[in-house]
Amino acid sequence: MTGYQQTLKPFLWRAENITPEREIVARTHEGTKRYSYDEYGDRVGQLANALDEAGVETGDRVGTVCWNTDRHFETYFSVPNMGPSSTRSTRCCPTATSSTSSTTPKTR
């Protein structure tokens, strides 16, 4: 045992706080997109807040169908860090269509 959480939260914290200037590079249908881990942490937080405002809670399931791009990478950290379980379906490389995400809050 390492004494540290074996979850995604410490990985995100480390990226934001130890190497905030490092770049994430994503290839999309619009071209190459670059941004820092500091910006990435902000985007992950924004997505988590938006899902929270939409009513997604711990125990809910969130499914995404995205190209394997920066948007998909953001859901990879934002959803599990806020509590719901996450299921992903990806395509390796984008074509002329854009990424999409969908959330499905549990039936109330």
Domain boundaries in the chain? 8-91
Higher pLDDT, 84 or 41: 41
Please name which of 24, 61, 59, 60 lies closest in space to residue 41, comparing C-alpha atoms: 24
- Please tell us whether the domain made up of 8-91 is placed in CATH 3.40.50.980: yes
Distance CA 79, CA 87 (A): 10
For the chain, where are the alpha helices, taking DSSP H only? 8-18, 37-53, 70-82
pLDDT digits (tens, 9 = 90+) for 29-43: 889 999 999 999 999
Residue of 43, 56, 45, 49 whose CA lies nearest to 103: 56
What's the whole-model pTM score? Answer: 0.70
- Of the listed ranges 52-56, 60-64, 80-84, the least confidently predicted one is 80-84
